[in-house]
Structures are given as C-alpha cells and as structure tokens.
Copies of this chain bind each other. A is one copy, B any other.
Amino acid sequence: MKIVRVQDIIGTEREVEGPGWTSRRLLLKKDGMGFSFHETIIPAGAELNLWYKNHLEAVYCVAGNGSITDLATGETHEITDGTLYALDKHDRHVLRGGSEDMRLICSFNPPVTGRETHDEDGSYNLAE
C-alpha cells in the first residue's frame, strides 16, 4: 500500500505547470498501477489546446467550472463538479477554465512516466 499526500507533492518535481495549468502527479508509471493518476488545476479563464496522441485520458471535475470543446464535432460541453470527460479517441480538444479555478482528477493509460515533455512528443498542449 502506498499513501501519497498532495501537500507533499506541491513544490516538488512531481508538480508540473505550464501556461493555464498545474498538475500534481500522484501516481506515475513507476508506481506499477497500469495507469497514472493526477490532480490538475485549471485557473479561471485559462484556454488550452490539447491533443493526447499517445494516451487515453479520463478527467473528472470535483470543484470549479469550465468547458471542453471537441474539435472533431465542434460541440462544447459545460464542466462542473460531477462532470467526467473521457478522451477515448485521442480527441483533439480545447479546455477552458470558467469563472472559478477547476479541480480535475485525471487517469492516463498508458501511465505517464514523468519524463514526457510537451514539445518532444506532442502529447500535451500541441497548438497554441
């Protein structure tokens, strides 16, 4: 059994951030769970163009609000506490922060190793 406390991650190399997001890597590939598990904060008003080419991702909102636009269909879905989105087709999307910082709980398959960078494999934050 492993116990991980987010307050022990904040400010370490397991907390990563970029323009419009901060992500805390609670479980990575090396933890051997077969998925990785993250908490991501999207500040109010942020806008991110994302495309996870190499991963499936599920994202569950537990606080705050925002929206997601599916670039394949053009549809925009509101996100509030209790909304999950699953990127089951490596969907290109735009994620927007709302009026309050959004707290998202995320699981990736295959698990993130922690060595990915945004520019290297294009898995994150592709087009701005």
Check A3–B77 contact: CB distance below 8 A.
yes
Residues in B neighbouring A86, C-beta threshold 8 A: 1-2, 4, 27, 31, 33, 37
How many copies of the shown chain assemble into the complex?
A: 2
Tell yes or no: A93 within 8 A of B by CB: yes
Q: For the complex, what is the distance from the CA of A62 to the CA of B62, rounded to whole Å?
A: 7
Query: In the complex, which range does the number of interface residues on chain A fall in?
Result: 35 or more
Check B1–A88 contact: CB distance below 8 A.
yes
Residues in B neighbouring A58, C-beta threshold 8 A: 26-27, 33, 35, 37, 107
Residues in B neighbouring A37, C-beta threshold 8 A: 58, 60, 84, 86, 107
Q: For the complex, what is the distance from the CA of A103 to the CA of B56, rounded to whole Å?
A: 24
Contact of A4 among B32, B62, B84 (CB under 8 A): B84
Check A88–B32 contact: CB distance below 8 A.
yes
Nearest chain B residue, comparing its CB with the CB of A89: B1
Closest chain B CB from A81 CB (angstroms): 9
**16 A-B contacts, Cβ less than 8 Å apart?**
A1-B72, A1-B87, A2-B84, A2-B88, A3-B84, A4-B84, A6-B84, A7-B82, A26-B58, A26-B84, A35-B107, A37-B86, A58-B107, A62-B62, A62-B103, A105-B105
